[in-house]
Amino acid sequence: MNKNYKVILSLACFVAGCSVLLVLQSFSVFSVIPGGNTGGNVDTDPITNISLTVNYGNGTTRTWTTITLTGTTTADRSVYAATAQKCSMSYDDYGGGAYFITGIDGQLQNSTHFWQYYVNGKYASVGACAYVLHSQDTIYWNFTTNYYG
């Protein structure tokens, strides 16, 4: 009986840990930063005319409309790469190439607010370094208290 209890407890801990990672991923800020596992090679044509809007949650919103991305890896062509061209990015390192975006231009997450992003008006379901952009895409970062707002 004691051995079965240990197996069940170990399995429960594993499932809980996986659940935490899935929740963090659902907030679309848990991702791989360039230099880690970037997913390999992708298209080599430049990605042009990307629009980026950052809503800092304090009445300040900034917009850029002519971002171009080049490079051959997923990370080179990602939401993170486009945002990092125009803004300073802060993140926590969770090891193994996994990072959590914690701030943009010094606006850091806190106990009531966090960063989330949308592409072409749709809430992103992957981390900022995993989302490969295309020409004409529109990125919107929002510093918010609402999980989907």
Predicted local distance difference test score (pLDDT) of residue 102: 92
Burial of 93 (0-12, 13-18, 19+ CB in 10 A): exposed
Query: Model-level pTM?
Result: 0.70
Domains and CATH numbers, the chain: 2-144 (2.170.130.30)
Element holding 96 (H helix, E strand): none
- How large is the average pLDDT for residues 126-138? 91
Predicted local distance difference test score (pLDDT) of residue 73: 83
Nearest to 51 by CA among 60, 38, 42, 64: 64
21-74 confidence digits (pLDDT tens): 444 444 444 544 443 333 445 577 899 999 999 999 999 999 999 999 998 888
Distance spanning both ends of the chain, measured CA to CA: 48
